[in-house]
Amino acid sequence: MNYERMIETMTPEVYASLKQAVELGKWPNGERLTPEQRETSLRAVIAYEVKRDLPAEERVGYIDRSRPDGSQHGSDPLQPDVLRILNDD
């Protein structure tokens, strides 16, 4: 089975198990993930989220920047910053 087919057939239970393993750094049986296993599992989790078109707030790595009043913390990292160069001549 190729990687893409594996992601297509992944069940929500397997996804949740992989996600938890990445978060905790160990498999459900308590065995630690190797760095390679962690990387591969994280890639599979991200691919599953993209394939299933999960909302951004449900995806791995989502940072909620909203305040209780609904406004946003900080600046949008996707918007360009204005750079001002001051000359002290």
Look at residue 48 and tell me if it is in a domain: yes
Range of the domain at 13: 3-58
Among 18-22, 23-27, 37-41, 76-80, the minimum mean pLDDT is found in 76-80
Look at residue 49 and tell me if it is in a domain: yes
Quick: pLDDT tens for 38-81. 999 999 999 999 999 999 888 888 877 777 776 766 666 677 77
Look at residue 14 and tell me if it is in a domain: yes
What is the mean predicted confidence (pLDDT) over 77-86?
76
- pLDDT category of residue 87 using cuts at 50, 70 and 90: confident
The closest alpha carbon to 54, from 3, 14, 1, 12, belongs to 12
Look at residue 7 and tell me if it is in a domain: yes
Q: How many residues does the chain have?
A: 89
- Three-state helix/strand/coil letters over the chain: CCHHHHHHHCCHHHHHHHHHHHHHCECCCCCECCHHHHHHHHHHHHHHHHHCCCCHHHCCCCCCCECCCCCECCCCCCCCCCCCCCCCC
Look at residue 10 and tell me if it is in a domain: yes
